[in-house]
Structure 1
């Protein structure tokens, strides 16, 4: 098996690279090359009766968390919750089994998930895209998803919403989800609880104001950096935190893996219940998506909303 450390999605600075190859964004996600051990490494609360993933009534953060946010975040003693920083990583399984991950603590106790552990024989996949800025490929990605009747969750920053209101509206209109990726893409364990809360709430509020749609109740930690405290706050605010069980180096627009690499990566590591991390800025993803979805569809896979994962 292979160990893969990641640190989330593309950063936020406007000096970030565009299609023509400008300066790469500071804070972009980092991934160790395959085969080497790395050195650098939101819908509401769990209210299920069987201890699984918790219920989901398909409501939004605003629908389900007004009372939760006001009550839980004020009552919680966050100083009592560990703020030790972790960087999400996965260990790939070459036999199409579920990727392994860090077991320092159970993330599910905080309504955090990286794979559908209950998928069993169900050939289901939950596509996710991190969107820190627009690089000209999201429209093509949406066209391809529509062609295959595939759903995805797009994790957006406030900056992305601000600069791409019509694209975000299109995501919602075509049945995709739009999750919270914060306002400024900070390392969440490195800021105060009050600032963490502001990052999440302001992004959600802006989503509603700018697009008329409410933020879906899913959160992806910037740069894949998290702590138990961060996950607890997100849960208290009504979010499920979504990590990933598949990923590769796709965020650097000046060092793209290529179309064939992306296709081969999915062919090699697909697994039931997978949550792939992709970046909307990637030319390789845009070029490979049609073939990748076709190949997996032939194997019987379907690509559904995260809501379905929590409706079981």
Structure 2
């Protein structure tokens, strides 16, 4: 090793402790910043959803029947009997609802029709027929907004009260106290708000994609969803705007009857 290398090595050995000490003093001089707390998570919209595990068995909802019951809310009826609760969402009239009513009358099957303001305004005679033939007419709100975005109780109540007032003016009866959240969007706060107003919130345990008027399923496609997935205590959601539903309902009800099912009104939901 030459003289230059020896001197350089000695220099580094003398300098290293100094650098280490300087680094430690620098670190001690710094103020440690605590990690920032996570932002508060706002109450979020929940889309009602189902998971079918076993053919012929009730699906699992994204809230249990027991949890929903705390807020007078349901997605299943009496699962100890072969009972079906038929419900229809009615956003507007496009020529299908009377055929649906005819099929229900033929089978002596009660149903619930969840209507919005437009349905009552544009098809009052059909809404009056629903009530006259013993069906429940439920509250689907006046304007069909995302109700989970409404946190103010007064604004929430106005959507329901406006529809109820229009129904009474049109039919001459009080609107039955059943509520279905538009698009299935809800929050725990919504369930509390509806309960405070005296409503039962009604979700569903069986539905299929029947609401695209310009892309209606075939009868075979409808049966493929509605027959194997039917189950005891099912609350079935169909749309009254569906041409397919209007065309198959008579036969569909017959098929369900052949499977041993009967039809019940939401008034017969277990408390």
- TM-score by length of structure 1 reads 0.70
| Residue 75 of structure 2 corresponds to residue 110 of structure 1 | no
- Counterpart-to-counterpart distance in 2, 1:134 and 1:188: 22
- Counterpart-to-counterpart distance in 2, 1:83 and 1:285: 36
| Residue 197 of structure 2 corresponds to residue 197 of structure 1 | no
- Aligned CA RMSD, in angstroms, stands at 1.5
When Rg is computed on C-alpha atoms for both structures, the one with the higher figure is 2
Q: Name the counterpart of 2:107.
A: 148
Q: Name the counterpart of 1:101.
A: 61
Q: Is the 8 Å Cα contact of residues 79 and 233 (structure 2) preserved in structure 1?
A: yes
SS in 2 for 1:276: strand
- Counterpart-to-counterpart distance in 2, 1:107 and 1:124: 20
- Counterpart-to-counterpart distance in 2, 1:158 and 1:87: 23
Q: Is the 8 Å Cα contact of residues 111 and 235 (structure 1) preserved in structure 2?
A: yes
SS in 1 for 2:56: coil
Q: Name the counterpart of 1:138.
A: 97
2:135 to 172, 176, 193: 176
What does the per-residue CA deviation read over 1:45-77, in whole Å, with 9 as the maximum and x for residues that have no partner? xxxxxxxxxxxxxxxxxxxxxxxxxxxxxxxxx
Q: Is the 8 Å Cα contact of residues 84 and 261 (structure 2) preserved in structure 1?
A: yes
Runs (5+) with no aligned partner, structure 1: 1-81
Q: Is the 8 Å Cα contact of residues 114 and 242 (structure 1) preserved in structure 2?
A: yes
Question: Deviation of residue 127 (structure 1)?
Answer: 0.5
| Residue 231 of structure 2 corresponds to residue 271 of structure 1 | yes
SS in 2 for 1:294: helix
User: Which segments of structure 1 move beyond 4 Å, counting only runs of 4 or more?
Assistant: none
- Counterpart-to-counterpart distance in 2, 1:85 and 1:239: 20
Q: Name the counterpart of 1:92.
A: 52
Q: Is the 8 Å Cα contact of residues 82 and 233 (structure 2) preserved in structure 1?
A: yes
Question: Deviation of residue 93 (structure 1)?
Answer: 3.5
Q: Name the counterpart of 1:257.
A: 217
Q: Is the 8 Å Cα contact of residues 246 and 276 (structure 1) preserved in structure 2?
A: yes
SS in 2 for 1:200: helix
Runs (5+) with no aligned partner, structure 2: 1-41
The size of the alignment, in residue pairs, is: 228
Question: Deviation of residue 265 (structure 1)?
Answer: 1.9
Q: Trace 1:198-237 onto structure 2 (pairs within 5 A).
A: 198-237=158-197
- Counterpart-to-counterpart distance in 2, 1:267 and 1:148: 18
1:160 to 104, 119, 122: 119
2:247 to 269, 280, 287: 287
Question: Deviation of residue 94 (structure 1)?
Answer: 3.6
Q: Trace 1:59-74 onto structure 2 (pairs within 5 A).
A: none
- Residues 1:292 and 1:94: Cα distance change in structure 2 (over 3 Å): farther
- Counterpart-to-counterpart distance in 1, 2:53 and 2:144: 30
What does the per-residue CA deviation read over 1:62-109, in whole Å, with 9 as the maximum and x for residues that have no partner? xxxxxxxxxxxxxxxxxxxx8431110011244211110113892221
Question: Deviation of residue 254 (structure 1)?
Answer: 0.7
- Counterpart-to-counterpart distance in 1, 2:123 and 2:146: 24
- Counterpart-to-counterpart distance in 1, 2:159 and 2:141: 5
Q: Is the 8 Å Cα contact of residues 207 and 226 (structure 2) preserved in structure 1?
A: no
1:245 to 205, 210, 217: 205
